[in-house]
Amino acid sequence: MKFLIVLALIGAAAATPLTADQAALVQGAWSKVKTSEVEILAAVFSAYPDIQAKFPKFAGKELSAIKGSADFALHATRIVSFISEVISLAGNSATAPAIETLVTELANNHKNRGVTKDQFNEFRTALTNYVSSNAPWGDNVASAWNQALDNVYATIFSKL
């Protein structure tokens, strides 16, 4: 299953809006993990230390030393809150412009910080691995999740 997820992540972004049913699958999986902010960010940093190095407050420090800090919890909450907001808007064509605005702002902010496409893809892989390991997950959820991320990443990559 994980191999199929990785293959899906490598594919080109399709930018096909989620149906309401797909959005419900994504929202259901996300609802199981969205309160694990610190664990999600720790999983990303553990899998990809080069991402941790992009954070001045965390660069060069042991993950075990920063994981319990207020700064770490605050940033983890910001990341998860952003993802939660985008996911809550998915599956409704009327909210597509709001998603576009949010994701464009994210892309521009991260472009200015020198975040690369490879690092965005690493984040995607770590996030997907975390969700798929901690929420009900099957081919239907994987497909919807990957479609949602394909849409987000098409916008991000068009701005980098």
Q: Are 20 and 92 in contact (CB under 8 A)?
A: yes
10 in any annotated domain: no
Mean pLDDT of 119-137: 98
Which residue range is the domain that position 134 belongs to? 33-159
Give the span between the Cα atoms of 103 and 89, in whole angstroms. 12
Q: Are 131 and 28 in contact (CB under 8 A)?
A: no
53 in any annotated domain: yes
Total structural domains in the chain?
A: 1
* pLDDT tens track for 44-60: 999 999 999 999 999 99
* pLDDT tens track for 63-75: 999 999 999 999 9
CATH number, domain with residue 50: 1.10.490.10
- Kindly report the pTM of this predicted structure: 0.88
92 in any annotated domain: yes
**How much is the pLDDT for 16?**
85
Cβ atoms within 10 Å of 40's Cβ, excluding its own = 21
